[in-house]
């Protein structure tokens, strides 16, 4: 494939490295849609997907995918076009994504919590031609959002709505025809879709993942987790997030020929009856949800006996909580430390309790390169903590259309700077000790401090602002904005409303706002966020009165 056919703004792996990954059998030249087609051929009538009362066999699912690919094609969606997909946990998510994979068009995977500010940014950054959303979910009307986004995005030709489409294009109209005039499948070495980065600076970045690299991580994850055609995976987290999508998640389950069950919400009220009804064997949660499930399981007597494995990741799980999983849920725990940029670590089935409870696992691949370095990029002594840099067969070499940022986010020799502080055990297991990136991990939801600071700086009464993490018993971390006011300080709720009205995702709105006269500074004159984190933590403990 010639260079010019590649998606512009993507940083491919160097040719010799790509050859090595192919030679080692990591990249096998299959697209995500070809995998589903193969499964549909072999497994035909087996159930692939359960969504509420709807059940889709592999054959039915793939038939819908081809119909939707036809529908997208008729709308004018072509290879390499970008399509922002923002759907809750419903079957149409898979139909839409696999249909776009078939065409070589790229889904941009937004989260249901994103609002006008984020969706506009994704559409603009990717020059998206279409936006696929639900009519409403969890009390939010996405058609209202679409009406705000469309005028700001000239490239956006189509808004496709699952449910009551009003003036937009109804999803069902895509499925109406069966003439298979589809163009050839894309090459598996090309970018399949764009994932979202948690980010730390400015606006969120997009992560280009190829069919080859993503499918490798999916296959290897399914093997590590020993998935089979008897596996039943409950997707409780938002379906577009990397963890439930690929680690091994829904795609790993389809790879293994198992069954995916979609939960509309991750609460015990929704999930426990589904586990019982569908005989779910594994699921994935972020730590606050795992704690919620543990508390609920102690108080209720739902039949969760089919559950064999609970994966927990996205944020640090305490060793105490880890130790409670087996006695209470009577299933194995697996810790998962991953990132949408690539690298995923798992504890393994034969790890002892010390590793299982106190580490975040070891990498998927023998070719995942791990470098732990000090502030000057020099390797630390074995077992010491430092910045985690990584490179490998499913870790990106650059963000999409982010040339300047890539110079900082990657080393010259292609290692991704994860922004995590880790140490490595002799067994290869990593322990996440902290973070150097300016990000808040709100129970697994990532907030880039600078992004929210910029939104707040747009308020006329805000002179300066610094967003930091504060401890929270339930979520692990919440966000606190320290604000220097311009004139009379506004009320905290006015600032929070200001962000909401600008269409910022609810999870990014600061949980607390503290007004101060000045910020503590570091020796080089930068805002000392560590001091601010300590200040708010002490205040919450009651050491400093509010
Ligand atoms: C997952 O992906 P992202 O892209 O939402 O967030 C990645 C970041 C990591 O760099 C790290 O800071 C944090 O989330 N993280 C953890 C963790 N898992 C992720 N921090 C501590 N302990 C863990 N177990 O969050 C993600 C992607 C694939 C699989 C699992 C999680």
Tokens of 542: 């009651």
Do 325 and 473 reside in the same domain of the chain?
A: no
Q: How many Cβ atoms from other residues are within 10 Å of residue 451's Cβ? A: 22
Residue 525 lies in a domain: yes
Do 398 and 485 reside in the same domain of the chain?
A: no
Q: Whose CA is closest to atom 19 on ligand 1?
A: 314
Do 30 and 98 reside in the same domain of the chain?
A: yes
Q: For residue range 294-303, what is the model confidence (pLDDT) as tens digits?
A: 999 999 999 9
DSSP 231: -
432 lines ligand 1 (CB under 6 A): yes
- Report the alpha-carbon distance of residue 262 to residue 235 in Å, rounded: 5
Do 44 and 102 reside in the same domain of the chain?
A: yes
User: Ligand 1: which of 113, 337, 360 to mutate, most ligand atoms within 8 Å of CB?
Assistant: 337
Residue 96 lies in a domain: yes
What CATH number does the domain containing 197 carry?
3.40.50.12780
Do 386 and 472 reside in the same domain of the chain?
A: no
Residue 8 lies in a domain: no
For residue 340, the CA-to-ligand 1 centroid distance in Å is 8
Do 283 and 367 reside in the same domain of the chain?
A: yes
Do 75 and 180 reside in the same domain of the chain?
A: yes
Count how many residues are written for the chain: 546
Q: Can you give the pLDDT at residue 1?
A: 42
Do 411 and 530 reside in the same domain of the chain?
A: no
215 lines ligand 1 (CB under 6 A): no
Q: Can you give the pLDDT at residue 2?
A: 40
Do 182 and 46 reside in the same domain of the chain?
A: yes
Domain end position, chosen among 420, 452, 487? 420
For residue 224, the CA-to-ligand 1 centroid distance in Å is 18
For residue 476, the CA-to-ligand 1 centroid distance in Å is 14
Residue 429 lies in a domain: no
Please count the structural domains in the chain.
Answer: 2
Decide: helix, strand or coil at residue 474.
coil
For residue 17, the CA-to-ligand 1 centroid distance in Å is 26
What CATH number does the domain containing 514 carry?
3.30.300.30
Do 208 and 111 reside in the same domain of the chain?
A: yes
Q: Give the residue among 397, 402, 406, 505 at the shortest CA–CA distance from 451.
A: 505
Residue ranges in the chain modelled with pLDDT below 70: 1-4, 179, 546
Do 141 and 261 reside in the same domain of the chain?
A: yes
Q: Which atom of ligand 1 is nearest to the CA of 312?
A: 24
Domain end position, chosen among 359, 393, 420? 420
User: Ligand 1: which of 338, 364, 390 to mutate, most ligand atoms within 8 Å of CB?
Assistant: 338
Residue 6 lies in a domain: no
- Report the alpha-carbon distance of residue 170 to residue 172 in Å, rounded: 5
For residue 384, the CA-to-ligand 1 centroid distance in Å is 21
Residue 475 lies in a domain: yes
Q: Can you give the pLDDT at residue 135?
A: 98
Q: Can you give the pLDDT at residue 136?
A: 98
Q: Can you give the pLDDT at residue 201?
A: 82
Q: Can you give the pLDDT at residue 200?
A: 82
- Report the alpha-carbon distance of residue 159 to residue 165 in Å, rounded: 9
What are the phi and psi torsion angles at 98 (to 5°)?
A: -65, -35
Domain of residue 496, residue span? 439-540
Enumerate residues 6+ apart whose C-beta is below 8 A from 304: 272, 275, 276, 297, 329, 330, 331
Domain end position, chosen among 392, 420, 448? 420
Residue 434 lies in a domain: no
Residue 425 lies in a domain: no
Q: Can you give the pLDDT at residue 226?
A: 98
Is pTM beyond 0.85? Reply is: yes
Is residue 304 exposed (0-12), middle (13-18) or buried (19+ Cβ within 10 Å)? Answer: buried
Enumerate residues 6+ apart whose C-beta is below 8 A from 286: 237, 312, 313, 314, 315, 443, 444
DSSP 281: -
Question: Which secondary-structure segment (H or E) carries 54?
Answer: strand 54-57
335 lines ligand 1 (CB under 6 A): yes
For residue 385, the CA-to-ligand 1 centroid distance in Å is 18
Do 347 and 294 reside in the same domain of the chain?
A: yes
């Amino acid at each position: 494939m010639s260079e010019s056919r590649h998606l512009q703004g993507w940083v491919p792996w160097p040719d010799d490295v790509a050859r090595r990954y192919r030679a080692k059998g990591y990249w096998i030249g299959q697209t995500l849609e070809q995998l589903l087609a193969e499964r549909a051929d072999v497994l035909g009538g087996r159930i692939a997907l359960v969504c509420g009362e709807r059940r889709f066999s592999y054959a039915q699912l793939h038939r819908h995918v081809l119909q939707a690919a036809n529908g997208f094609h008729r709308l004018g969606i072509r290879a390499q076009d970008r399509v922002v997909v923002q759907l809750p946990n419903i079957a149409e998510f898979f139909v839409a994504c696999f249909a776009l994979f078939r065409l070589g068009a790229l889904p941009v995977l937004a989260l249901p919590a994103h609002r006008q500010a984020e969706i506009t940014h994704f559409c603009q950054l990717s020059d998206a031609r279409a936006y696929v959303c639900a009519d409403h979910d969890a009390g939010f009307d996405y058609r209202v959002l679409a009406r705000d986004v469309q005028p700001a995005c000239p490239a956006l030709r189509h808004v496709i709505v699952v449910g009551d489409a009003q003036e937009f294009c109804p999803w069902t109209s895509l499925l109406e025809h069966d003439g298979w005039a589809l163009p050839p499948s894309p090459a598996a070495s090309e970018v399949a879709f764009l994932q979202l980065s948690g980010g730390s600076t400015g606006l969120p970045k997009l992560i280009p993942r190829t069919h080859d690299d993503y499918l490798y991580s999916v296959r290897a994850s399914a093997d590590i987790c020993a998935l089979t055609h008897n596996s039943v995976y409950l997707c409780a987290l938002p379906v577009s997030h990397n963890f439930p999508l690929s680690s091994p998640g829904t795609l790993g389950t389809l790879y293994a020929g198992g069954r995916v069950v979609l939960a509309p919400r991750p609460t015990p009220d929704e999930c426990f009856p589904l586990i019982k009804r569908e005989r779910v064997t594994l699921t994935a949660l972020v730590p606050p949800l795992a704690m919620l499930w543990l508390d609920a399981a102690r108080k209720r007597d739902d039949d969760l006996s089919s559950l064999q494995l609970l994966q927990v990741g996205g944020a640090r799980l305490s060793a105490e909580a880890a130790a409670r999983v087996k006695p209470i849920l009577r299933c194995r725990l697996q810790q998962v430390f991953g990132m949408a940029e690539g690298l995923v670590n798992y504890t393994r089935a034969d790890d002892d309790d010390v590793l299982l409870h106190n580490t975040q696992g070891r990498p998927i691949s023998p070719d995942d390169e791990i470098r732990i370095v000090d502030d000057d990029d020099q390797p630390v002594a074995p077992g010491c903590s430092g910045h985690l840099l990584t490179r490998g067969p499913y870790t990106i070499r650059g963000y999409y259309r982010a040339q300047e940022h890539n110079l900082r986010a990657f080393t010259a020799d292609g290692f991704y700077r994860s922004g995590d502080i880790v140490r490595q055990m002799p067994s290869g297991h990593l322990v996440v000790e902290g973070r150097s990136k300016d990000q808040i991990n709100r129970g697994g939801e990532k907030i880039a401090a600078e992004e929210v600071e910029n939104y707040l700086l747009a308020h006329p009464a805000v002179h300066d602002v610094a967003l930091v993490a504060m401890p929270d018993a339930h979520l692990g971390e919440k966000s606190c904005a320290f604000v220097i006011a311009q004139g009379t300080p506004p009320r905290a709720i006015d600032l929070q409303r200001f962000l909401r009205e600008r269409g910022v995702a609810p999870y990014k709105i600061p949980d607390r706002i503290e007004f101060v006269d000045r910020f503590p500074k570091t020796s080089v004159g930068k805002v000392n966020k560590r001091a601010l984190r300590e200040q708010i933590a002490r205040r919450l403990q009651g050491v400093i009165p509010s």
